Structure 1
Amino acid sequence: MSQKARTAQLWLLAIAALVGVWLVENGAGTELVPPQPTTAEAFAAGPGLRPDAPVADPLRPSAPVRVRIAAIGVDAPMTPLGLGPDGSLDVPPVDTPDVVGWYKGGTPPGARGTAILAGHVDSARGRSVFYRLGSLRKGSTVEVDRADGSTAVFSLDAIEVYENERFPDDRVYGASEHASLRLITCGGGYSKETGYQGNVVAYAHLTDVRHAPSLTPSTDRRRA
């Protein structure tokens, strides 16, 4: 990923509806604090795949259409994110905070390499799609439905939180020989003046693939 794209990605995460937090904290009187990862869910000895998890062969590239994370109640449509004329990354629609974006200039989820998914943590209406991302645990499952009819099933290897100034570019965006996935949202401390001070990043790899059943005369009820 280029420097401009990386900077734009961080900008996407930093703009996660600061007004939404302010409204909840000061309007409704209820503090909105997203869950943060514990040290137990971080990598024990540097980035890598969980040794107890299977590794599935990468799939051919195909665009993702929906993502599901049962452990945190996510079942969301996906939208591709491109780069604008100034080199900045487009963001998921502001009026649809429960949509997850994926960087279409990079690796599609399930293909060989590192796929990047990004979602808002909150909005002016309250909690958004990745609000509970920081509460995931190692071994949690992420399912991505793809345009080719397959479902790529990922297992979480670790989840960490980083300060903006210490964001580990290579660890997060670096190349992978496997089908790897990164899920990113805002996290860390929060300041009303500057917003979230960091990012939550979940690391996962492909462990299984489900294919849609082929339609045959014996299974097509319309031919009965």
Structure 2
Amino acid sequence: MRTRARFDRLGDTAIAAVTVVALGSGVWLLGGGAGAHTPPQPSAAEGRPDPTDERLAAPALAPSPPTRVRIPSIRVNAPLMGLALTPSGSLDAPPAAQKNLAGWYEAGTMPGETGTAILAGHVDNTDGPAVFYDLGALRRGARIEVDRRDGSVAVFTVDAVEVYSARDFPDEKVYGAAARPELRVITCGGGYSRATGYQGNVVVFAHLTGSR
């Protein structure tokens, strides 16, 4: 409970730093992988709308750990593993070698219950694109489905897709508490530098609109 309270209260600045470093290496880009194309980045048109807009919000679900995430419009269908905080207080990352694997912050909100649930995954690894490579191509209104251990599926609708530089990452906006069931999906982004790697993060904002 102490870890969760620290995360909710502070937004945990270290999480922003670790996602830049650990959720994408860009090493394959240096070798000209996939024509050396960087991952797609969201346009300003996909920016976050008024956060007070509660239309189409669904009632919260009972807590149940997530097991899989699907984002049909960008062909994501991946199992989820639990992620904890490292001893330094930053969010850990899924093993980079498993490119079709994402994670969720298991000491925080479970997807579907009231609050802000966090999913994170790599944009690439040394072999090429990984699970969230196309996350920046998502558009407002897209569907995200999260399978849960109790057999239910939490269905989220994307409110916005934004990109932030590492130095300007808005911790409270991304990680802060919510009064309804919300979801954040995070990977590396913000452009790529051969000298310093990825410059920031792509963040998807979504809220619960249904279940089955």
TM-score by length of 2: 0.89
Percent identity between the two aligned chains = 50
User: In structure 1, how many angstroms separate the alpha carbons of the residues matched to 2:104 and 2:34?
Assistant: 34
2:51 counterpart of 1:47: yes
Check conservation: 1:49, 1:157, Cα contact below 8 A.
no
1:72-151 pair list within 5 angstroms: 72-151=74-153
Deviation for aligned residue 1:192? 1.3
TM-score by length of 1: 0.85
Check conservation: 1:13, 1:118, Cα contact below 8 A.
no
Relative contact order: is structure 1 or structure 2 higher (C-alpha 8 Å, sep ≥ 6)?
2
Task: Determine which structure has more spread, i.e. the larger CA radius of gyration.
Answer: 1
Residues 86-95 or 192-201, more deviating: 86-95
Out of 38, 43, 58, the position equivalent to 1:33 is 38
Deviation for aligned residue 1:95? 1.4
TM-aligned CA distance change 1:110 to 1:4, over 3 Å: closer
Out of 198, 201, 206, the position equivalent to 1:199 is 201
Deviation for aligned residue 1:3? 5.1
Name the amino acid aligned to 1:7: A
SS of equivalent residue, structure 2 residue 36: coil
CA RMSD of aligned residues (A): 1.8
TM-aligned CA distance change 1:110 to 1:169, over 3 Å: same
User: In structure 2, how many angstroms separate the alpha carbons of the residues matched to 1:132 and 1:21?
Assistant: 15
Q: Which ranges in structure 1 are unaligned for 5 or more consecutive residues?
A: 211-224
Name the amino acid aligned to 2:193: S
- The residue number in structure 2 matching 1:219 is none
Deviation for aligned residue 1:189? 1.8
Check conservation: 2:18, 2:92, Cα contact below 8 A.
no
